[in-house]
Structure 1
Amino acid sequence: MEAFQLSNHFHFPWPVNHTSLSPDGKLLVVVGDNPDGMLVNAQTGKALAAKQQEWRSAMSTEFNALIQAGTWQLVPYSPSMNVLPNKWVFRIKRKPDGSVERYKARLVAKCFRQQEGVDYGETFSPVIKHSSIRLILAIAVSFGWTIRQLDVQNAFLHGYLSEDVYMQQPQGFIDPQFPTHVCKLQRSLYGLKQAPRAWFSCFSTYLEDLGFTASQVDTSLFVYHSGNIKLYLLIYVDDILVTGTHADHITTLITNLSKLFSMKDLGPLHYFLGIEAVRSSHGLALTQTKYTLDLLHRTNMTDAKPVSTPAATGKRLSLTDGTPLHDGSQYRSVVGALQYLTLTRPDISFAVNQVCQFLHSPTNVHWVAVKRILRYLKHTPTYGLFYTPSNFKLTGYSDSDYAGDPDTRISTGGTCIYLGTNLISWSSKKQSGVSRSSTEAEYRQLAYTAAHVSWFRTLFRDLCIPLQSPTLWCDNISAISLASNPVFHTRTRHVEVDYHYIREKVVRKEIQVAYVCSQDQLADIFTKGLSSYRFHYLLPKLPVRARPISLRGGGGGG
């Protein structure tokens, strides 16, 4: 056992524990026993962190922030208290190019001992929807607005607790005058079940005091509208984006937020939620290149032979294909990583949706399908969305592959929604039930798409931006007739009433439904594996493309 002095008042004992690697390869060091979540007990020795000044400095910075914020007060221990343990977690935060940005230490309470009704109640906290993020970015690009990125340091510490929560003194910082006392938490702490909710409540209340209003359909989007001034703020836990009509008002907002919260202004948008954003005079490129390359390295696919499409043409996976894998943990880990990659890669959505259906019992055939996606990523590591200035016409494409699932005969539906030429939302998923005809399958998907378009219409009202009646494009004339005709046809009596919701929207002229030939059906890429020719015909229409060479390795723009 090693020990060292962190200050004149606190002595830190370092029992041997472990370090570990997260799925994305970042070093994580846990101080304390029984690590949670993705941390793996590697038994390699906690003394590694103790010997490095970077980690020691990070710990001191975190502890001082906790004390300065008045996170707890020391009180005598009582046997009736439910005292929570804690642990130190260290993480290396990296820049998009992989270089070290900073060493970060965090004191985390262990919530597994919390008791509902005793030391926690409500726990739900909203986060911004990814489609909302893409919509706001598309709007900002079209108007030429500045997009600023903020990070709230020790965000969860700003929330106040309404329950009595007690915790052990943090290891290494036990007060020698009161060694048996425990911490009575005044503010929330990372790891507590109610911490996200307490932080969001505190932050949203302050925004409302500044004149912001939460969106009705996405409560993590806040809108300020006064005269010709519009400001939009999006919050994802402790990561924040701000954009709007006037750059000086954005600066004023950041200054006001910094008065109450420990706010770090990261400048123009460049790296948000693992997404690399590069602004140029032509538009905004959104990619996950580093994430893709890290995934290929982690799966030993860096030198794999590339392919031009992510899924085999006309091939549907089945539960009975192949031999079950002896250990499906790697399969589930890689598929989970691929799901996150679909945030900027709609081109792999159908293929990823296919392999996600076999997480409970993957086979060697399913694993081959996963490796095909990885081989496609090897061929296209710099691909992503590219947003350009465009109009505010909302357009949706709806398509369905009738009875495509070989096991259940459930149809796969595809949806993509554009704001002008910019793709802001898409979906590739199995429908909720078996359809008796291709018309019914198409009609179900049309109703699903209409619901999403209606959601965007409501969001536009919250943003105080006028929007003309959206258009839905479908390549099935019978489904269009059902959607446009208010008469209840006898052949649709078996269709759930919910799906006739689209008729009301069409009658009220809130949505227009129009025919598009199958050749120009953009949602086709979300319903089946396509030939190389067909796939690459639709790809630039999403638009998914390689990030321009002139933008690679560059920083964010205003």
Structure 2
Amino acid sequence: MTRSIMKHMNVPNYLWGEGVRHSTYLINRVATRTLVSQTPYEVLKGKRPSIDHLRVFGCLGYAKTDGPHLRKLDDRTRTLVHLGTEPGSKAYRLLDPVTRKVVVSRDVVFDENKGWKWNTTTNENSEESGMFKLSLGLYGNNGLREEEEEMEQEQNNDGSMEEEDIEEEEESPSETETEQVQDLLRRSTRISKKPGYLDDYVYLADVEGERLLLLINDEPWDFSEAIEEKVWKDACKEEIASIVKNNTWELVDLPLGAKPIGLKWVFKIKRNSDGSISKHKSRLVAKGYIQRHGIDYEEVFAPVARIETVRFIIGLAASNDWEVHHLDVKTAFLHGDLKEVVYVSQPEGFVIEGSESKVYKLNKALYGLKQAPRAWNEKLNKVLGELDFVKCSKEPSLYRKRKNHGLLLVAVYVDDLLITGSKTEMINEFKAGMSRKFDMSDLGLLTYYLGIEVFQFNGGIMLKQEGYAKKILEETKMADCNAVQSPMDAGLKLSKAQEERNIDEKEYRRIIGCLRYLLHTRPDMSYSVGVLSRYMHEPKESHQAALKQVLRYLKGTFSYGLTFMKTRHSELVGYSDSSHNVDIDDGRSTTGHLFYLNECLITWCSTKQETVALSSCEAEFMAATEAAKQAIWLQELLAEILEKASEKVTIRLDNKSAIALTKNHVFHGRSKHIHKRYHFIRECVDNGQVEVEHIAGSLQKADILTKALGRIKFKEMRELIGIQDLKKMEFKIKGENVEVNLEDNLVHKLN
């Protein structure tokens, strides 16, 4: 559209910015493919836009001149070029092609059939040819919004004209008149200071984009919109009731010199794993971004359970046939005790009559405060200590309790608690104890946690992210694409490819970020997504093509996931591998390792090595050291939980030279340059913490994490590490074998 409107009136290219702005203005007021019966403006504002004021871009406009000291024969109009509507006002933007200055005026008469003859006024030899200077004053237009009511009255209002850069008239008046004009137009020498309310200035387009997303999700933007619906009004009342019940604040007079922190209502629709609405949640949030360190808060860090810790707990529970339960603490942050004195203003819609000038002094934390997560964590840590729980030193968010030869484990992720143990009685006792301390939501057996779908059955537990995978495909418009059998072609060599054309960097990063969260249950995609993550800066067309193949692979495997089965023996086994010199740009190798707890895949990693390896033996040795670090952590965590002596962790390699290098100082001539930090595995082997074994390359499970494999080999390795189609597994568990049913139906039809 920009090119069309500029070529129609032969507008020069240096005005491309004005053309883009006017095109955007028009697109927001016409129908689109997505919004058939409405315009984007109508969706956002809730009313039809007025288009009576629109004029042809680049046409001639005659603006009224009403400057001081006009003589009788002076022109009363100026011939200018129309550049669209001025943002934040009801005036037109006009360009003087001679002086290249922008004029803002409401009193304009247009001739939409004529355009300016640019060749007669453009000086191509000028040093500033093609440059267009625009000044909006010191503070711009202050983010003023355009009101539709003003646009409708535009034709009836008297005009006035403003010029952004004022220069002297070309004709020379008398000396007396010149002195009067200079005195009248003299610029003030006072130093202007930027007002404080512009410190947090944001672009109007970003705010409108956020509001449009909220409209799509049926979530109100602010309290004035939410109060119109009963469901949101009840949610706000419930939030205030929780605050009052917990004795979170008390109404006081604001002390002299103290500044209250503002409050804001945030509205969110919580959904289940299938997309259905779970509840309408209103949250009163403090504007903690104005807090100052050392005055309003001190420490803010609060530990949360890592995803690999969650898989560790689920794997331990599945192998021992334990149940995993889920608890949620209602308004968790409101229970944290504050050490600092904090004042907040009264919330919108709940201002107490007769006490409008008073503020609330917080006794406990409030959502939005920087210290709120830490205050809640300290409160929860104290309560769990009273219930005889002990915090694990290797995982601060994991607590354990021993009672009558029974074990109970609790993993904490903010206000979500994962509970598992050897005895159901201990789990029920813990739930009752927590209910006496906090207002709890007992969600029963774990079914959905941080976007991960959990299916517990007799003899095991399944983990998948099917709903999240479908959402990724829908957002990337790949839901109807053709599926492929591998995420990356074997032998594909990606590089920075400086000669290729750039793609949308923001969209590329967004998709990669979504896929990286999907890796919590999909180690088969770790290598391909990890390689694409290396090109977040200036991605090229080849990276986009590889990314689309990953999405096509996801299309055919979105129901795949992990299965943790019950086992009789207990062991911790790891696999380590590397691919030598696979990165074209810097020649570094890729490390991959994965660990099994009682035959349950609990942790894995695929990453590029920090230094260049000069041989495959050196690359394997460096990869084994990284695996040993993970093995020691898992070993000590398992020993601390089970309260028994730790056993050796077995790490399996497919390179005999690297195995020999881990046990003794051989090949000194080829290994003397290896950094001493990578000799950590030798110490682990000498201390009896790690045992290194050789395994055939065809059975090396970590091979899928280090290189792109062919379709047949990839499928074999995927099944070998334990990735399965969980939809078929669910049918088999429920006794509904689809394939058998289809065969029976076919035989019945033939008969």
Deviation, structure 1 residue 24: 12
1:27 aligns with 2:217: yes
In structure 1, C-alpha distance between the alignment counterparts of 2:720 and 2:262, rounded to whole Å:
53
Residue in 2 that maps onto 1:71: 248
Superposition pairs of residues 31-46 of structure 1, within 5 angstroms:
none
Residue in 1 that maps onto 2:621: 443
Deviation, structure 1 residue 202: 0.6
Residue in 2 that maps onto 1:393: 571
Residue in 2 that maps onto 1:508: 687
Secondary structure of 2:484's aligned partner = coil
**Aligned letter for 1:507?**
D
Residue in 1 that maps onto 2:260: 83
In structure 2, C-alpha distance between the alignment counterparts of 1:534 and 1:460, rounded to whole Å:
33
Secondary structure of 2:375's aligned partner = helix
Deviation, structure 1 residue 279: 1.3
Contact in 1 for aligned 2:452/2:463 (Cα 8 Å): yes
**Aligned letter for 2:217?**
L
Deviation, structure 1 residue 488: 8.9
Residue in 1 that maps onto 2:711: 532
In structure 1, C-alpha distance between the alignment counterparts of 2:366 and 2:402, rounded to whole Å:
33
Deviation, structure 1 residue 324: 4.8
Identity, in percent, stands at 36
Residue in 1 that maps onto 2:516: 339
CA separation of 1:326 and 1:402: change in aligned 2, threshold 3 A? closer
In structure 2, C-alpha distance between the alignment counterparts of 1:413 and 1:28, rounded to whole Å:
45
In structure 1, C-alpha distance between the alignment counterparts of 2:408 and 2:609, rounded to whole Å:
38
Deviation, structure 1 residue 403: 1.6
Which one of the candidate residues 416, 424, 427 is aligned to 1:239? 416
1:334-370 deviation line (CA, Å, top 9, x unaligned): 1111111001011111111111112222222212222
Which one of the candidate residues 487, 495, 500 is aligned to 2:674? 495
In structure 2, C-alpha distance between the alignment counterparts of 1:232 and 1:334, rounded to whole Å:
35
In structure 2, C-alpha distance between the alignment counterparts of 1:97 and 1:317, rounded to whole Å:
37
Deviation, structure 1 residue 78: 4.3
- Decide which moves more: 241-250 or 366-375: 366-375
Residue in 2 that maps onto 1:471: 650
In structure 2, C-alpha distance between the alignment counterparts of 1:219 and 1:112, rounded to whole Å:
27
Superposition pairs of residues 318-337 of structure 1, within 5 angstroms:
318-320=495-497, 323-325=500-502, 327-337=504-514
Superposition pairs of residues 16-415 of structure 1, within 5 angstroms:
20=210, 27=217, 29=219, 47-78=224-255, 80-320=257-497, 323-325=500-502, 327-390=504-567, 391-415=569-593
In structure 1, C-alpha distance between the alignment counterparts of 2:518 and 2:722, rounded to whole Å:
16
1:173-222 deviation line (CA, Å, top 9, x unaligned): 11222112222221111111111111111101111111111111111000
In structure 2, C-alpha distance between the alignment counterparts of 1:184 and 1:93, rounded to whole Å:
30
Contact in 2 for aligned 1:307/1:376 (Cα 8 Å): yes
1:3-27 deviation line (CA, Å, top 9, x unaligned): xxxxxxxxxxxxxx97958999993
In structure 2, C-alpha distance between the alignment counterparts of 1:70 and 1:325, rounded to whole Å:
56
**Aligned letter for 2:595?**
I
Deviation, structure 1 residue 85: 2.0
In structure 2, C-alpha distance between the alignment counterparts of 1:406 and 1:484, rounded to whole Å:
32
Q: Which runs of 5+ in 1 are unaligned?
A: 1-16, 33-45
**Aligned letter for 1:141?**
A
- Decide which moves more: 67-76 or 446-455: 67-76
- Decide which moves more: 267-276 or 128-137: 128-137
Deviation, structure 1 residue 131: 1.5
1:307-347 deviation line (CA, Å, top 9, x unaligned): 11111211132112664545322111111111110010111
Deviation, structure 1 residue 498: 1.4
Secondary structure of 2:412's aligned partner = strand
In structure 1, C-alpha distance between the alignment counterparts of 2:653 and 2:584, rounded to whole Å:
24
**Count of aligned positions:** 526
In structure 2, C-alpha distance between the alignment counterparts of 1:155 and 1:436, rounded to whole Å:
53
- Decide which moves more: 379-388 or 541-550: 541-550
1:543 aligns with 2:714: no
Deviation, structure 1 residue 47: 5.0
Contact in 1 for aligned 2:211/2:221 (Cα 8 Å): no
**Aligned letter for 1:407?**
D
Residue in 1 that maps onto 2:156: none
In structure 2, C-alpha distance between the alignment counterparts of 1:28 and 1:213, rounded to whole Å:
44
In structure 1, C-alpha distance between the alignment counterparts of 2:613 and 2:220, rounded to whole Å:
51
Contact in 2 for aligned 1:24/1:295 (Cα 8 Å): no
Secondary structure of 2:309's aligned partner = helix
In structure 2, C-alpha distance between the alignment counterparts of 1:535 and 1:550, rounded to whole Å:
20
Deviation, structure 1 residue 49: 2.6
Contact in 2 for aligned 1:385/1:545 (Cα 8 Å): yes
In structure 1, C-alpha distance between the alignment counterparts of 2:214 and 2:679, rounded to whole Å:
44
1:411-431 deviation line (CA, Å, top 9, x unaligned): 110011111321100000111
- Decide which moves more: 541-550 or 448-457: 541-550
**Aligned letter for 1:438?**
S
1:353-405 deviation line (CA, Å, top 9, x unaligned): 11111222222221222221111110011001111012321111111111211
In structure 1, C-alpha distance between the alignment counterparts of 2:216 and 2:731, rounded to whole Å:
23
CA separation of 1:282 and 1:148: change in aligned 2, threshold 3 A? same
Contact in 2 for aligned 1:22/1:28 (Cα 8 Å): no
In structure 2, C-alpha distance between the alignment counterparts of 1:227 and 1:489, rounded to whole Å:
55
In structure 2, C-alpha distance between the alignment counterparts of 1:459 and 1:232, rounded to whole Å:
12
1:430 aligns with 2:620: no
Secondary structure of 1:480's aligned partner = helix
Secondary structure of 1:84's aligned partner = coil
In structure 1, C-alpha distance between the alignment counterparts of 2:408 and 2:604, rounded to whole Å:
26
Residue in 2 that maps onto 1:455: 633
CA separation of 1:25 and 1:478: change in aligned 2, threshold 3 A? farther
Contact in 1 for aligned 2:214/2:220 (Cα 8 Å): no
In structure 2, C-alpha distance between the alignment counterparts of 1:554 and 1:266, rounded to whole Å:
23
In structure 1, C-alpha distance between the alignment counterparts of 2:668 and 2:573, rounded to whole Å:
28
Contact in 1 for aligned 2:321/2:459 (Cα 8 Å): no
1:43-100 deviation line (CA, Å, top 9, x unaligned): xxx6543322111111110111011111112222346324322211111111111111
In structure 1, C-alpha distance between the alignment counterparts of 2:271 and 2:307, rounded to whole Å:
22
**Aligned letter for 1:27?**
N
CA separation of 1:257 and 1:425: change in aligned 2, threshold 3 A? same
- Decide which moves more: 455-464 or 325-334: 325-334
Residue in 2 that maps onto 1:3: none
